Amino acid sequence: MKQRIGVLGGSFDPIHYGHLILAEQIKTEARLDRILFVPACVSPFKIWNKPIDRTHRLRMLELAIGDHKDFEISTIELDKDTPSYTYETLRALADRYGADAELFFIIGTDAFMHIEEWNCSRELLSEFSFLIGLRKGYDEKKLESILDDLATRYPLKAEYIPIPELEISASDLRDRMAAGKSVKFLLPDPVIDYINSRGLYQNTARRLQAFVQRKVDHNRYQHTEGVVAKARELAHRYGADPEKAEIAAWFHDAYRETGNLEHGPIAAEELRRQFGIDDQDILNAIRYHTTGRPGMSLLEKIIYLADSIEDGRQYPGIDELRSVDCLDIDRCIYRLMTHTRDYVEGLGIQFHPRSIQAIEELEERFKKERIHEQ
């Protein structure tokens, strides 16, 4: 007697109880011997929105399935570096299991409605069996009509199976986790533990915030919060990317203990090394936030300014600097830099050459503007 094997494909990004309940329900209702989970490497429908790394998705699947004797995993698609098409996968699995097995492709109602748009749909509908999970609320008569129509054009083998109403969306779960919300009872506990231990699905700003909060003292963290708030405000005011501004602001003082001028370059390198952020604009905004430099980008100017005038800062002249309503950010930067230069030199300390060069560059720009206006 042939083995009846259900094939459940998907990104599983992440695997959740909706997947598991679907698999168990269809296995029971269709009298399958086992369910084969087939995580995709790159879904053809997600070329521009790639899932999380395959090693993480595979490990989460392993943890979710545990010792369930009738659930197995195939890495046939994960082992490829090209888009995975269902027909190619089923054909390869059919060759692997041979004549002693019958494969049933498990598919949701919405996806099946568009099955003829799939790659090699004619072969797919002609050679393989389908088990369609029908959730409550779907138009059963419409599905039956589609099945009847397909059966007139293909040697179709398909049946639909009512499944429990359990609306769990992987994209909603990712959004919840990125926002720091609970996903308890939506994912198996071992999967949640794995996600939390590796910081998966957290947006970059939240990951950096958690890192900085653990690393710096209370006063430094409060200052950083102030810089983040001011950086986002300035990004909106001057038309920069608020998310990039927030990322740079969270990490700008993460290594403040390494020195007054050293901590910027060190923090930029650690952000790249530890968090994989290689956006040069973000890295430079962190690298030069203490001194500025000639040719600063808009983001660099925003972080330099936010670090100096965030609401928690207190030093001589700051109230005047905050009161300046600068439509031109360069004039704000110039006022701040010259104020800092005068203060530093008044203490008998040499002002940083990069800062001097930045001031001179701005003065040259303002001079040209005045000439042009005359």
Considering the domain architecture, whether residues 143 and 13 belong to the same structural domain is answered as yes
Any domain includes 77: yes
Cβ atoms 57, 12 nearer than 8 A: yes
Residues 159 and 209 in one domain: no
In a domain, 61, yes or no: yes
Which pLDDT score is estimated for 325?
56
Please identify, among 166, 196, 226, the residue that sits at the C-terminal boundary of a domain: 166
Residue 101 to residue 32: CA distance in whole angstroms: 11
332 domain-assigned: yes
pLDDT of residue 299: 97
Q: Could you read off the pLDDT of 143-179 as tens digits, one per residue? A: 999 999 999 999 999 999 988 777 788 888 988 888 7
Domain annotation covers residue 180: no
Are 150 and 37 in a shared domain? yes
Residue 104 belongs to a domain with what CATH number?
A: 3.40.50.620
CATH code, 213: 1.10.3210.10
Q: Given 136, 166, 196, which residue is the final one in a domain? A: 166
Q: Do 124 and 226 belong to one domain?
A: no
pLDDT tens profile 42-82: 655 554 455 688 999 999 999 999 999 999 999 999 998 77
Distance CA 257, CA 369 (A): 41
Q: Which of 90, 93, 82 is nearest to 107 (CA)?
A: 90
**pLDDT tens sequence across 195-242:** 988 878 877 888 888 889 999 999 999 999 999 999 999 999 999 999
Contact 329, 238 (CB under 8 A): yes
Q: Is 155 exposed, middle or buried (0-12, 13-18, 19+ CB in 10 A)?
A: exposed
Domain span holding position 271: 204-373
Residue 193: inside a domain: no
Based on the fold, state whether residues 155 and 243 are members of the same structural domain: no
Task: Tell if the pTM clears 0.85, that is, is over it.
Answer: no
Q: Are residues 145 and 212 in the same domain?
A: no
Cα separation, 333 vs 326, in Å, equals: 9
Residues 224, 92 share a domain: no
Both 149 and 239 in one domain: the answer is no
Is there a domain that residue 105 lies in?
A: yes
User: Are residues 230 and 149 located together in one domain of the fold?
Assistant: no
pLDDT tens, residue by residue, 280-336: 999 999 999 999 999 999 999 999 999 999 989 888 777 777 776 567 899 889 999
Residue 342 lies in a domain: yes
pLDDT of residue 48: 47
DSSP string, 272-293: HHHH----HHHHHHHHTTTT--
Residue 247 within a domain = yes
Q: Are 198 and 56 spatial neighbours (Cβ–Cβ below 8 Å)?
A: yes
- The total number of structural domains that make up the chain: 2
Mean pLDDT of 86-104: 95
Same domain, 132 and 74: yes
